[in-house]
């Protein structure tokens, strides 16, 4: 399932200068970006159960600063209610795929940052289907903590490596010494690394079963390595060129997390959606003489 996300890239984008490109044929800037527009929900605006779920989410987002997340199990709701909720929440920029023996996760962020749709499969069947509010889905942190496998530096190294052996030693040392509060970033883009160096690092660190894709003007591709608390975090421009290549030593990269301001904004926007439903109901009540 993880192959639905692109693999780790090896080569960064070549720098462009007037000498390399005398006609100044720079990559075109993005012309548009995705913005949220409330969907037309038709007769679903009268779905009381769906509106109650949205109200719970708005309350959970508003109270999620330092408190427990709001979790709403969707398995007990009728199909039309789930469709109503899905249409209102939409699909945001972040998608998360995770695999481990007999289980897999499919998580997507709504257009409201900090609202997560979590589908947990076991033995090929949907075991849990729920919505959660918070900076990140709690199950992602739980699975990440359980993805480590015993790794050690190799005794011998392939030919044609330049800086990979010393870099691997640094990464292993930082992983072993990691404690919350000691987060760090190794910017591989600034280091002289050959494709052979990159291939060696990918093989040496391994890849665990967690892949995260964040889309905007370009992509941010994140993969959990098999080394504890070490993540590949790569940034691409809109044409798909790798422009920033990093390894983050952290329990979970910050780019995945919704900021407190995002949660507040999502609570406000969900409140506006609910207010619009109320306005429609009042308008229709006046029209039919209620």
177-192: burial string, b at 16+ Cβ within 10 Å, e else: ebeeeebeebebeeee
pLDDT tens, position by position, 32-51? 555 555 555 555 557 889 99
pLDDT tens, position by position, 206-251? 888 899 999 877 789 999 999 999 999 999 988 788 899 999 999 9
SS3 281: helix
| List of residues 6+ apart from 129 with CB closer than 8 A | 73, 74, 75, 118, 119, 120
Return the HEC string of 106-135: EEEECCCCCEEEEEEEECCEEEEEEEEECC
- The top-level CATH class assigned to 45-136+258-290 is alpha beta
Asked whether residue 289 carries a pLDDT value surpassing 50, the answer given is no
- The pLDDT score that the predictor gives to residue 283 is 64
CATH no. for 148-256: 3.30.1370.140
CA distance 106 to 123: 14
Show me where the domains of the chain are located. 45-136+258-290, 148-256
pLDDT tens, position by position, 149-165? 667 788 888 888 999 99
Same fold, 45-136+258-290 and 148-256: yes
Alpha helices in the chain (DSSP H): 48-62, 79-89, 138-145, 164-177, 195-205, 260-287
Cα 43 to Cα 73, 191, 257: the distances in Å are 24, 57, 35
Name the nearest CA neighbour of 270 among 117, 124, 89.
89
The answer to whether the CB of 249 falls within 8 A of the CB of 178 is: yes
Which has the higher per-residue pLDDT, 225 or 27?
A: 225
Arithmetic mean of pLDDT over the chain: 83
- The pLDDT score that the predictor gives to residue 139 is 95
**Cα angle 103, 104, 110; round to 5:** 145
Q: Give the end-to-end CA distance of the chain in Å, rounded to a whole number.
A: 52
The answer to whether the CB of 56 falls within 8 A of the CB of 74 is: no
Q: Provide the pLDDT confidence category of residue 29 given band limits of 50, 70 and 90.
A: low
């Amino acid at each position: 399932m993880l192959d639905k996300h692109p693999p780790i890239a090896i080569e960064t984008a070549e720098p462009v200068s007037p000498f390399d490109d005398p006609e100044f044929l720079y990559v075109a800037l993005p012309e548009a970006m995705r913005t949220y527009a409330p969907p037309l929900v038709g007769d679903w605006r009268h779905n009381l159960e769906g509106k109650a779920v949205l109200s719970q989410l708005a309350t959970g987002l508003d109270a999620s600063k330092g408190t427990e997340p709001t979790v709403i199990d969707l398995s007990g709701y009728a199909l039309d209610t789930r469709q109503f909720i899905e249409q209102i929440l939409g699909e945001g920029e972040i998608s998360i795929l995770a695999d481990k023996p007999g289980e897999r996760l499919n998580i997507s962020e709504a257009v409201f940052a900090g609202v997560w749709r979590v589908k947990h499969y076991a033995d090929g069947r949907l075991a849990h289907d729920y919505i959660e509010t918070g900076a990140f889905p709690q199950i992602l942190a739980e699975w990440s903590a359980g993805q480590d496998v015993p790794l050690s530096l190799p005794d011998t190294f392939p030919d044609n490596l330049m800086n990979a052996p010393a870099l691997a030693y640094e990464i292993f040392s930082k992983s072993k010494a990691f404690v919350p509060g000691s987060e760090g970033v190794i910017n591989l883009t600034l280091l002289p690394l050959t494709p052979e160096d990159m291939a060696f690092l990918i093989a040496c660190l391994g890849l665990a079963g967690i892949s995260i894709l964040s889309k905007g003007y370009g992509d941010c591709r994140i993969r959990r390595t098999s080394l504890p608390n070490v993540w590949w975090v790569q940034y691409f421009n809109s044409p798909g060129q790798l422009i920033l290549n990093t390894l983050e030593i952290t329990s979970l990269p910050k780019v995945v997390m919704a900021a407190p301001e995002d949660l507040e904004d999502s609570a406000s926007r969900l409140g506006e959606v609910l207010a619009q439903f109320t306005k429609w109901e009042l308008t229709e009540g006046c029209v039919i003489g209620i």
